[in-house]
A = this chain, B = another copy of it.
């Protein structure tokens, strides 16, 4: 709503950065590893889940890629837009697997045994519940198992495993609603209740519309300024909060600027096919970045302002994916306790 980087051709997806840089003929980066893996579901003939793990371990590469150092795990599932319980159940399980890996990488096993209550987790649902594509975070939180109040004092449930995670959560709202930076609210809450770790869920901006509702990004680098549909101005990271911050995001919008730039690039390709326009295409392609930037500004300003592009059925996508992610979180934090419920998802409750 207060996007100060309108014309920055933004993506919140590390994997898109990598792709883009590669396209532009950059060499592979020092201290950056990329692993890929396919989780194929044998139980049905539907598509598999392609997982790419990008580890950025050098300052320099982090700078070049414009991403913080850390681990970025990307689940690519074209069928995630489908209303199929099998697939979403599988996604929840794969997400839980990688989420647990990230958790363990930040806490030695004995941490879990040291405490009676297990990990103290604060789950934050970022975004504006009143704007459909920005409502992912609030919707996910409404499905996450909240247990902290059950373990503290009078609400103890005997049949509830005393050593499972203690989970609390909050939907801080957006600054136009509260007048307070989300980062201020989370910082205040963290200092008050001292969780071991924070899991933040947010709707992301992608560069390519093919990413919308088909990709889940999991990272331990937290949330950085300018990221998310609402473009947070302050960061939610281990540096700013003092504890690890895991961010789970799904692209739900593409910035208008990104679309225009993509259109230009595609236009260039098109022109190149015709000899009589090739020389212009070459000239256009050879434009220096800042010339291109100036041109894009002229094309955009003031017409596109803080606009975003989103699919017409974004409500179904948000409804479906928010539940799939919440189940992944529940399974990662409660394991067997939640497993019999984790196997379930409400995909059939969505329109075909």
User: Inside 8 A of A276's CB, which chain B residues have their CB?
Assistant: 283
* A340 in contact (CB, < 8 A): yes
Query: Given A209-B305, A340-B86 in contact, is the A352-B316 Cβ separation under 8 Å?
Result: no
- CB contact under 8 A between A160 and B352, given known A146-B176, A169-B178, A303-B262: yes
Q: How far is the CA of A155 from the CA of B276 in the complex (A)?
A: 42
Residues of B within 8 A of A345 (CB): 344, 346
Interface residue tally on A, bucketed by range:
35 or more
> Given the complex, which residues of B lie within 8 Å of A352, measured CB to CB?
145-147, 150, 157, 160
Q: Are A146 and B351 in contact (CB under 8 A)?
A: yes
Q: Does A307 contact B (CB under 8 A)?
A: yes
Across the interface, A148 reaches (CB within 8 A) one of B149, B179, B189, B350, namely B179
The CA of A283 and the CA of B316, in the complex, are separated in Å by 43
Whether B176 pairs with A168 at a CB distance below 8 angstroms is: no
A188–chain B nearest beta-carbon distance, Å:
3
Query: How distant is A161 from chain B, measured CB to nearest CB, in Å?
Result: 12
A229 surroundings in chain B (CB, below 8 A): 312
Whether B346 contacts A323 by the Cβ 8 Å rule is: yes
The stretch among A15-23, A48-56, A94-102, A124-132 that forms the contact with chain B is A124-132
Give the chain B neighbours of A107 by CB distance below 8 A: none
**Docked CA distance A233–B85 (Å):** 30
Asked whether any CB of chain B lies closer than 8 Å to the CB of A260, the reply is: yes
Question: A176 to B316, Cβ gap below 8 A?
Answer: yes
Q: A177-B146, A260-B259 are in contact. Are A209 and B303 (CB under 8 A)?
A: yes
Asked whether A249 is an interface residue with its Cβ less than 8 Å from the other chain, the reply is no
Task: Tell me the bound Cα distance from A303 to B146 in angstroms.
Answer: 28
Contacts of A34 in B (CB 8 A): none
| A121 smallest CB distance to B (angstroms) | 10
Q: Give, as a whole number of angstroms, the nearest-CB distance from A286 to chain B.
A: 12
**B192 and A146 contacting across the interface, CB-CB below 8 Å:** no
* A305-349 with Cβ < 8 A to chain B: 305-316, 323, 326-327, 330, 338, 340-349
* A256/B309 in contact, CB under 8 A: yes
- A147 adjacent to B179 (CB under 8 Å): yes
Contact B146 A178 (CB under 8 A): yes
Does A243 belong to the interface (CB within 8 Å)?
no
Say yes or no: is A196 at the interface (Cβ < 8 Å to chain B): no
Q: How far is the CB of A122 from chain B (nearest CB, A)?
A: 9
Please state if A2 and B155 are interface contacts (CB–CB under 8 Å).
yes
B-contact bits for A166-183, CB 8 A (1 contact / 0 none): 111111110111111100
Q: Binary interface profile of A, 251-285, with partner B (CB < 8 Å = 1, else 0)?
A: 00000100110111011001000001100100100
Query: What distance in Å separates the Cβ of A296 from its nearest Cβ neighbour in chain B?
Result: 10
In Å, the complex CA distance between A89 and B175 comes to 27
A130 adjacent to B132 (CB under 8 Å): yes
**Docked pose: A264 CA to B313 CA in angstroms:** 27
Give every chain B residue within 8 A of A145 (Cβ-Cβ).
Answer: 348, 351-352
- Which B residues touch A181, using CB under 8 A? 149
Sample (9) of A-B pairs whose CB atoms are under 8 Å apart? A132-B132, A141-B177, A143-B349, A229-B312, A263-B263, A267-B295, A307-B312, A308-B312, A323-B349
